[in-house]
Amino acid sequence: MNNNSLVQRAERFLSALRHCQVLGMTVETATEKGLTLRLPYSEKIIGNPENGVIHGGAITTLMDTTCGISTVCFLPDFEVCPTLDLRIDYMHPADPHKDILGFAECYRVTPTVIFTRGIAYQDDPEQPIAHAVGTFMRMGKSANLKTGMFPGGNKA
Amino acid sequence: MTVEEFNALLSDAHARNDYTALIDLVPYARLIGIECLRLGDDMVFRLPAQADNIGNPVLPALHGGVIAGFMEHAAHLHLLMFMGTQHLPKTIDFSVDYLRAGHYRDTFAQCQVWRQGRRVANVAITAWQTTRSEPIATARAHFKIDEP
């Protein structure tokens, strides 16, 4: 699948999620290597009024959404994949008044479960604000992946 | 807002036993609509059903990130209310397990501080909708509490 159609699929997915629209999230890039979403800075998602830093909840929403939608970059067809668990580790606080980018990839796909990981960053992906790891359940009936498409994806 | 203003607001909330101003202070808490309910000595946090918090439009269900953000902020408030924390805690890590769909209805959360050291607190958070014995999500987190 070419990258334009991956972007379109990711945008269609994101546009259906009302809370993500409220936060103004947009698709930055979508390739076979993973997905990047943008969370724009805004006053309404401030978590610390002393310094204007964005609340962790908005970053968790960014990373849950990025990890969840990154599945479109790795699955042949659209599938509903609810989150089983998600962990965020904060490396340093975000700078106020700057957008946050979330990147995620699926590093293991089985017929029942998808393992994803990603980072949240502002200027430099080498200096992430946070690391995230999330596990998603595959609910779609098209669980029969093409052989060889993913390591071990056709068994278990 | 300055550190001094925050401390004054926090002391006033403790004195009056009314934390509305503390909740209203944080824009993100206002955005998703967090409230607190005092039950005797316990505090239960409430996230009223709100269409802007929906993620899955089909069920419909709350966005998992909103549920996690609600739980994280409930833990912040719990530390400020009960544990003598002087300023907004900083999250070190946050890990959430989603156990059931968070339907489009009111959600509740309660916190348990398992360990509070001088610099770091470990908090477990449980969120439910129908009954506390059937949580929709559980979370654990570490917070840095030693500096503003």
Look at residue A117 and tell me if it is in a domain.
yes
Any A CB within 8 A of B138 CB: no
The alpha carbon of residue A154 is apart from the nearest alpha carbon of chain B, in Å, by 26
Look at residue A88 and tell me if it is in a domain.
yes
Look at residue A142 and tell me if it is in a domain.
no
Cα→Cα distances B39→A126, B42, B91, B103, B119, Å: 46, 5, 27, 24, 29
**Which pLDDT belongs to residue B41?**
82
Tokens linked to B36: 């607190």
Q: What is the mean pLDDT of residues B59-77?
A: 96
**Which of A17, A42, A86 should one mutate to test binding to chain B, selecting the residue with the greatest count of B CBs within 10 A?**
A86
Any A CB within 8 A of B72 CB: yes
Determine whether the interchain pair B55/A18 forms a contact, defined as Cβ–Cβ distance below 8 Å.
yes
**3-class DSSP assignment, residue A122:** coil
- Determine the residue of chain A that is closest to B74 in CA distance: A57
**Which pLDDT belongs to residue A144?**
39
pLDDT for residue A152 is more than 60: no
Count of the separate structural domains present in chain A: 1
Tokens linked to A28: 């930055």
pLDDT for residue A72 is more than 80: yes
pLDDT for residue A151 is more than 70: no
pLDDT for residue A78 is more than 90: no
Closest CA to B103 of B36, B65, B55: B55
Q: Which of B31, B56, B72 sits opposite A60 (nearest CB)?
A: B72
Instruction: State the average pLDDT for chain A.
Output: 89
Look at residue A101 and tell me if it is in a domain.
yes
pLDDT band at A148 (very low <50, low <70, confident <90, very high): very low
Q: What ipTM, to 2 d.p.?
A: 0.94
pLDDT band at A141 (very low <50, low <70, confident <90, very high): low
Q: Is the peptide bond before B60 cis (omega within 30 degrees of 0)?
A: yes
Determine whether the interchain pair A58/B69 forms a contact, defined as Cβ–Cβ distance below 8 Å.
yes
How would you write A7-73 as a 3-class SS string?
A: HHHHHHHHHCCHHHHHCCCEEEEEECCEEEEEECCCHHHEEECCCCEECHHHHHHHHHHHHHHHHHH
Any B CB within 8 A of A84 CB: yes
**Which of B24, B26, B31, B45 should one mutate to test binding to chain A, selecting the residue with the greatest count of A CBs within 10 A?**
B31
**Which of B70, B91, B92 should one mutate to test binding to chain A, selecting the residue with the greatest count of A CBs within 10 A?**
B91
**Which pLDDT belongs to residue B148?**
60
**Which pLDDT belongs to residue B14?**
85
Look at residue A125 and tell me if it is in a domain.
yes
Look at residue A106 and tell me if it is in a domain.
yes
- Enter the pTM of the model: 0.92
Determine whether the interchain pair A64/B32 forms a contact, defined as Cβ–Cβ distance below 8 Å.
no
Q: Say which DSSP state B89 is in.
A: P
A61: domain CATH number is 3.10.129.10
- Structural domain boundaries, residue A105: 3-137
Q: Both ends of chain B: CA-CA distance in Å? A: 13
- d(CA B58, CA B52) in angstroms, rounded, equals 14
Residues of B in Cβ contact (< 8 Å) with A20: 55, 63
- d(CA A105, CA A114) in angstroms, rounded, equals 10
Determine whether the interchain pair A50/B57 forms a contact, defined as Cβ–Cβ distance below 8 Å.
no
Look at residue A41 and tell me if it is in a domain.
yes
Cα–Cα–Cα angle for B48, B49, B55, rounded to 5 degrees: 130
Look at residue A99 and tell me if it is in a domain.
yes
Any A CB within 8 A of B113 CB: no
Q: Which domains does chain B have, with CATH numbers?
A: 3-144 (3.10.129.10)
pLDDT band at A149 (very low <50, low <70, confident <90, very high): very low
What share of chain B has pLDDT > 70, as a percent?
A: 99
pLDDT for residue B58 is more than 90: no
